Amino acid sequence: MKNRRQFLKVAGLSTLGLAGGLALPGMARAAGLKDSYRSGQEALKGGHWGMVIDTRAFDSPEKFEAVISACHKYHNVPAINSKREVKWIWKDGYHQTFTDQKDNYPAKDVLERKYLMLCNHCVNPACVRVCPTQATFRRSDGIVVMDYHRCIGCRFCMAACPYGARSFNFEDPRNFLEDRELNVSFPTRMRGVVEKCTFCSELLAVGKAPLCVEASEGAIVFGDLDDPASDVRKVLAENFTIRRKPTLGTEPSVYYII
Amino acid sequence: MLEKVLKGRPSFYIWLAVLGAIITLGSLVYLYQVFVGLRITDLSRDVSWGFYIAQFTYMVGVAASAVMLVLPAYFHHYTKFKKMIILGEFLAIGACVVCMLFIFVDLGQPQRVLNVILHPTPNSVMFWDMVVLSGYLCLNLLIGWVTLEAERHQVEPPKWIKTFIYISVFWAFSIHTVTAFLYAGIPGRHYWLTAVMAARFLASAFCSGPALLLLLVFVVRRVTGFDPGRDAIRTLTKIIAYAMGINIFLFCLELFTAFYSQIPGHMHPLTALFSGHDGHALWINGWMWTAAVLAILSFLLMAFPGTRDNESLLPYTLGILVIATWIDKSLGMLWAGFTPNTFETMTPYAPSIAEILIGLGVYGVGALIVSVLWKIALDVKREAGTFSKPA
């Protein structure tokens, strides 16, 4: 009896010691790392990233295609041709994009034009407010991003987003990437998580502009809305612009020149 | 008291076996969903919640409805309910589990569900819903078990349990209010963005929950001879009648605001629910009209004493009430929130066979829990002599 008790004591203490021994250095390392994450020298920094889309310049399907495929190829967005599609940036008609504009007689070219849609990176994002795990959050530079590893796939954010900017992986997206050249510098996703546009935060971190901006040949202007001298603020000062569903108070960071 | 489950008639075990088979079938389909993803549902990018979340919403109401017995009994000393209270509490336990399971089967990454606790997020209503639902489950387990144990020993329940009973009354209101807040606080979903949502949910819960309870009690009365007492049935039916009246009234308030203001966003979901889209009838239209007719019919049948106190008619009245509220608050509520979608267009949705089978499995689990708990409660009552005729 005594022997067994002694054995248990020793075994218990050893396990505890072993576990502590393994965990402590790791914890110390993690504590040390906390302040060691810094953005790189070349990273673009902004107080509130925003975008202006000159919809007049998007006058052919090719121009849309260039922008959309640049984004979707780089981010390994699967092409699923069903109502369960995944899309980060896409195009649709005037009334579908600007649902508040109930005009009966819109100008012919305005009505015939297509419009780009993407995540609005709202100042007051409903998706962030409702997420039960903080898997989606707003960074200090205004970009709303996702942690694909924390998302539980409850899709509350999809119900909350008034812009339909979010897609859910109803099945393994990798099934749709098999016959395609993968971009290994950006992660693919797994089934059961929500995803959306990142404003190319991963490219801003290495000093590059978002892919849609690059591919648009000047039709999309990107910059820091907090900086009055920025390109984006200059374009806003010179043009009449509108935002999608402004009355909801979400404060989109994507502006449209009509 | 668990040993009561081991002694029963063969028919009881056949019933449990049937439930077991339904649960097994549902589990197998769920397993398939775990492996291939939610593509086996009819959900989509634009209609991202459906049958599962609809059932969750409805069953939160059933869980909350136990309070319609507890409140009169403990706040107004209406002792005639005391015989039935335990059944209401045990039904609430089954309903709570069903709610949690419906949330669980809806998740894309169910193995990460504990992230809700690991990363608690007070600004998310989903987080609070988890808190209030699990709290309500624990309260009912505690209260149900302690009071039944006391009944078994034929003594008064300990005084301290009363504190928990009072808490449970307020807690019941909270679970359904928080569930309504899941919907009522998000911008851009016109049908959900209404301040009366929580009130409507409560009214609907307080008629449909007790109606379901009474229906189950009638089944039990036929099978076992348990008699809840005529006065208790009549009082509860009156409560159901009032709650249904308020429920219909609140729905009419929605109609007024939408159609008198003529604001398209308010009108669209309602017209889509009842008359379709762009001149095309939708599958849900028939269901919604059925719900409307049955709701009014059940209310009229309960509004007048002649039909309300007619015990052979009552099960049918309660049955159509449950169907009406179920259509309105589960699928109708969810469907209309996503129709029209955020682009003011329409994406069709109808629950898939897989969704329905998984849903049946979840309901099977609830039925199994309620069957076992009610068996225990009724056997205890039989031994304590509080079974057949009211004291």
The pLDDT tens digits of the residues spanning B53-106 come to: 999 999 999 999 889 999 999 999 999 998 899 999 999 999 999 999 999 999
Count interface pairs A-B at CB distance under 8 A: 141
Contact B315, B362 (CB under 8 A): no
Residue of A nearest to B40 (CA): A170
The answer to which of A9-13, B109-113, B294-298 has the lowest mean pLDDT is A9-13
Q: Does B343 touch chain A (CB under 8 A)?
A: yes
Average pLDDT, whole number, for chain A? 91
Query: What CATH homologous superfamily does B2-384 map to?
Result: Formate dehydrogenase/DMSO reductase domain (1.20.1630.10)
Averaged pLDDT for residues B329-337: 93
pLDDT at A61 > cutoff 70: yes
Nearest CB among B46, B112, B130 relative to A83 is that of B46
Contacts of A87 in chain B (CB under 8 A): 45
Work out the pLDDT band at A32, boundaries 50, 70, 90.
low
Chain A contact probe: residue of B112, B338, B355 with most A CBs at under 10 A? B112
Instruction: Supply the pLDDT for residue B360.
Output: 98
Q: Does B11 touch chain A (CB under 8 A)?
A: no
Contact B299, B243 (CB under 8 A): no
Contacts 24+ apart (CB under 8 A), A186-190: A186/A74, A186/A75, A186/A76, A187/A76, A187/A148, A188/A76, A189/A76, A189/A148, A190/A148
pLDDT at A56 > cutoff 90: yes
pLDDT at B116 > cutoff 60: yes
Q: Which run of H or E residues covers position A145?
A: strand A144-146
Residue with tokens 């008198």: B260
pLDDT at A181 > cutoff 60: yes
Instruction: Supply the pLDDT for residue B391.
Output: 41
- Other beta carbons within 10 angstroms of residue A1's beta carbon come to 5
- Other beta carbons within 10 angstroms of residue A74's beta carbon come to 18
pLDDT at A191 > cutoff 90: yes
Residue B27 to chain A, least CA–CA distance (Å): 18
Residue A154 to chain B, least CA–CA distance (Å): 5
Residue B185 to chain A, least CA–CA distance (Å): 9
ipTM of the complex model? 0.92
pLDDT at B260 > cutoff 50: yes
**Which tokens sit at A50?**
């925003």
Is B136 strand, coil or helix? helix
Nearest CB among A95, A162, A168 relative to B48 is that of A168
User: For the packed helices B197-224 and B51-64, what is the interaxial angle rounded to 10 degrees?
Assistant: 70
**Which tokens sit at A228?**
């009055």
Contacts of B341 in chain A (CB under 8 A): 164
Q: How far does CA B252 lie from the centroid of its chain?
A: 22
**Dihedral sign from CA coordinates of B339, B342, B344, B347:** negative
Residue of A nearest to B128 (CA): A132
Rounded distance between C-alpha atoms, residue B26 and residue A170, angstroms: 19
Q: Does B189 touch chain A (CB under 8 A)?
A: yes
Contacts of B50 in chain A (CB under 8 A): none
By the 10 Å C-beta count (0-12 exposed, 13-18 middle, 19+ buried), B385 is classed as exposed
Is A223 strand, coil or helix? strand
**Which tokens sit at A180?**
């395609």
Q: Does B126 touch chain A (CB under 8 A)?
A: yes
| C-alpha distance from residue B190 to each of A5, A44, B170, B264 (Å) | 67, 39, 29, 10
Rounded distance between C-alpha atoms, residue B350 and residue A111, angstroms: 32
Nearest CB among A83, A131, A134 relative to B44 is that of A83
The CATH architecture annotation of domain A49-257 reads 2-Layer Sandwich (3.30)
Q: What is the DSSP string of A113-129?
A: --EEEE----SS-HHHH
CB-CB under 8 Å, B108 with A169: yes
Residue of A nearest to B122 (CA): A132
Averaged pLDDT for residues A53-67: 96
> Between these two residues, A103 and B293, which has the higher pLDDT value?
B293
| C-alpha distance from residue A101 to each of A40, A45, B15 (Å) | 43, 34, 58
Residue with tokens 């569900």: B113
Instruction: Supply the pLDDT for residue B254.
Output: 96
Averaged pLDDT for residues B252-280: 92
Residue B290 to chain A, least CA–CA distance (Å): 27
CB-CB under 8 Å, B107 with A152: yes
Contact B247, B253 (CB under 8 A): no
| C-alpha distance from residue B341 to each of A25, A161, B367 (Å) | 51, 11, 35
Instruction: Supply the pLDDT for residue A41.
Output: 85
Nearest CB among B39, B107, B347 relative to A171 is that of B39
Residue A129 to chain B, least CA–CA distance (Å): 6
Residue of B nearest to A194 (CA): B108
| C-alpha distance from residue A138 to each of A50, A133, A134, A158, A186 (Å) | 13, 13, 10, 16, 20
pLDDT at B278 > cutoff 90: no
- Other beta carbons within 10 angstroms of residue A82's beta carbon come to 9
Instruction: Supply the pLDDT for residue B390.
Output: 47
CB-CB under 8 Å, A96 with B343: yes
Average pLDDT, whole number, for chain B? 94
pLDDT at A16 > cutoff 70: no
Contacts of A131 in chain B (CB under 8 A): 121, 124
CB-CB under 8 Å, A161 with B188: yes
Share of chain B above pLDDT 90, in %: 88
Instruction: Supply the pLDDT for residue A17.
Output: 65
Task: Show Cβ contacts of residue B124 under 8 Å, excluding neighbours closer than 6 positions.
Answer: A129, A130, A131, A132, A156
pLDDT at B384 > cutoff 90: no
Averaged pLDDT for residues A174-192: 93
Is A38 strand, coil or helix? coil
Residue A235 to chain B, least CA–CA distance (Å): 27
Contact B352, B42 (CB under 8 A): yes
pLDDT at B389 > cutoff 60: no
Contacts of A193 in chain B (CB under 8 A): 108-109
pLDDT at A244 > cutoff 50: yes
CB-CB under 8 Å, B109 with A159: no
The answer to which of A42-46, A223-227, B27-31, B313-317 has the lowest mean pLDDT is A42-46
Nearest CB among A99, A162, A191 relative to B187 is that of A162
Q: Does B122 touch chain A (CB under 8 A)?
A: no
CB-CB under 8 Å, B347 with A83: yes
Task: Show Cβ contacts of residue B285 under 8 Å, excluding neighbours closer than 6 positions.
Answer: B273, B274, B275, B276
Residue A151 to chain B, least CA–CA distance (Å): 7
CB-CB under 8 Å, B345 with A155: no
Question: What does the pLDDT look like over B222-251, one tens digit per residue?
Answer: 998 898 899 999 999 999 999 999 999 999
Instruction: Supply the pLDDT for residue A113.
Output: 95
In chain A, domain spans: 1-37, 49-257
Q: Does B123 touch chain A (CB under 8 A)?
A: yes
Residue of B nearest to A82 (CA): B44
Residue A243 to chain B, least CA–CA distance (Å): 14
